[in-house]
């Protein structure tokens, strides 16, 4: 599942860059990735594993069934390739995370090395302030040295606006030239200073078609950590959450996340124009005789229109 991106796939790649949010604009003002005002496509990355947790490759489009709000949808786009990804890395450098800073740097470096060479990343550091780690004028990079420097900031004390940092990262994805977008959050899940709420962050991630992976670095003595938040973000967006215990665990987890992203299938369908606006549920099933019992992970839904709909707190 690792072919290079070929010129012959350019039209298809361009088509599935369209985010889950439905956009209607005049043709002459369309941003990159929007084909026309009539084009609507919901993109669903899907991970499939067997009962031992091994990735299952080689499945065909006929193996997949997609439902929206309980109604079957026709799959218009099917990809089983390792396509390039834009990855945002949000790192909590607050005081409770200070002792794990080197683990985080090593893990992020391992993640880059295990990723598709055509992937690009950016870093949002969270301490007393929220800042982008890459130099001005460098929105994304695949240079491990640049990323290591972007992560090498001193730990900080004070409040932790985690949700605000995630919003800054999600906004940075807009206009990114990639079919798939992933947000990797390295934190204990605690937030005590954000102006944005959990539901706003989740809605934005679903609207921008961003899968959230979380690495929870927990301290038994910390009263502010919130692993439940990390689990909820991952579950709803089709990502995954990990809670490594050992000092080497962060690097191992980052390698596992990179492998998961590279082994995903990509499905796309045109949502029905009738029915409710706002949040719509997605269900993906796989039937593959001869492969035994399979587990499927995909995002739980998306927003059909960009209205100000609230999601409940976890």
Q: What is the residue-level pLDDT of the chain in tens, covering all 314 positions?
A: 433 333 333 333 323 333 333 322 222 232 322 222 334 788 899 999 999 999 999 999 999 999 999 999 999 999 998 888 999 999 988 766 666 777 888 888 888 889 998 899 999 998 878 999 999 999 999 888 888 889 887 776 678 899 999 999 999 998 787 778 999 999 989 898 899 999 999 999 988 889 999 999 887 777 778 999 999 999 999 999 999 987 678 899 999 999 999 999 999 999 888 767 788 999 999 999 989 999 999 999 988 764 444 444 56
pLDDT given at position 122: 95
The first and second tokens of residue 69, run together, are 């709000």
Structural domain spans, the chain: 7-80+265-276, 85-262
pLDDT given at position 247: 65
- Contact between 114 and 148 (Cβ < 8 Å): no
The first and second tokens of residue 37, run together, are 């005002």
- Contact between 21 and 279 (Cβ < 8 Å): no
Q: Which contiguous run of DSSP H or E holds residue 248?
A: none
Architecture of domain 85-262: 3-Layer(aba) Sandwich (3.40)
d(CA 13, CA 5) in angstroms, rounded, equals: 9
Burial 176-196 (b: 16+ CB within 10 A, else e): bebbbbbbbbbbbbbbeebeb
d(CA 260, CA 116) in angstroms, rounded, equals: 11
Q: Where are the alpha helices (DSSP H) in the chain?
A: 10-15, 101-114, 144-151, 162-173, 198-207, 227-237, 249-262
d(CA 45, CA 34) in angstroms, rounded, equals: 19
pLDDT given at position 50: 95
| pTM recorded for the entire structure | 0.81
Which among 299, 271, 274 is positioned nearest to 284, based on CA atoms? Answer: 299
pLDDT given at position 214: 95
pLDDT given at position 180: 85
pLDDT given at position 173: 93
């Amino acid at each position: 599942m690792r072919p290079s991106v070929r010129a012959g796939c350019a039209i298809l790649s361009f088509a599935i860059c369209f985010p889950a949010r439905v956009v209607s604009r005049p043709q002459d003002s369309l941003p990159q990735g929007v084909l026309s005002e009539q084009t609507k496509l919901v993109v669903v990355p899907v991970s499939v594993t067997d009962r031992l947790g091994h990735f299952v490759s080689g499945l065909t489009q006929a193996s997949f069934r997609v439902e929206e709000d309980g109604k079957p949808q026709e799959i218009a786009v099917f990809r089983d390739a390792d396509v390039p990804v834009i990855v945002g890395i949000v790192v909590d450098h607050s005081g409770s995370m200070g002792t794990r800073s080197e683990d985080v740097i090593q893990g992020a470096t391992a993640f880059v090395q295990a990723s598709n060479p055509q992937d690009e990343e950016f870093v949002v550091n969270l301490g007393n302030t929220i800042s982008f780690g890459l130099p001005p004028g460098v929105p994304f990079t695949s240079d491990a040295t640049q990323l290591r420097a972007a992560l090498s900031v001193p730990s900080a004390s004070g409040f932790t606006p985690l949700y605000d940092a995630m919003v800054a990262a999600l906004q940075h994805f807009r206009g990114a030239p990639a079919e798939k977008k992933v947000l990797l959050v390295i934190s204990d899940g605690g937030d005590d200073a954000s102006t944005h709420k959990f539901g706003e962050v989740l809605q934005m991630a679903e609207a921008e078609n961003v899968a959230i992976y979380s690495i929870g670095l927990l301290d038994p003595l910390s009263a502010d950590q919130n692993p439940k938040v990390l689990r909820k973000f991952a579950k709803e967006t089709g990502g995954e959450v990990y809670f490594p215990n050992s000092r080497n665990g962060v690097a191992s987890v980052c390698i596992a996340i990179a492998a998961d992203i590279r082994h995903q299938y990509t499905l796309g369908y045109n949502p029905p124009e009738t029915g409710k606006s706002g949040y719509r549920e997605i269900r993906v099933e796989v039937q593959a005789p001869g492969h035994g019992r399979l587990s499927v992970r995909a995002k739980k839904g998306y927003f059909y229109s960009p209205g100000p709909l609230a999601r409940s707190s976890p």
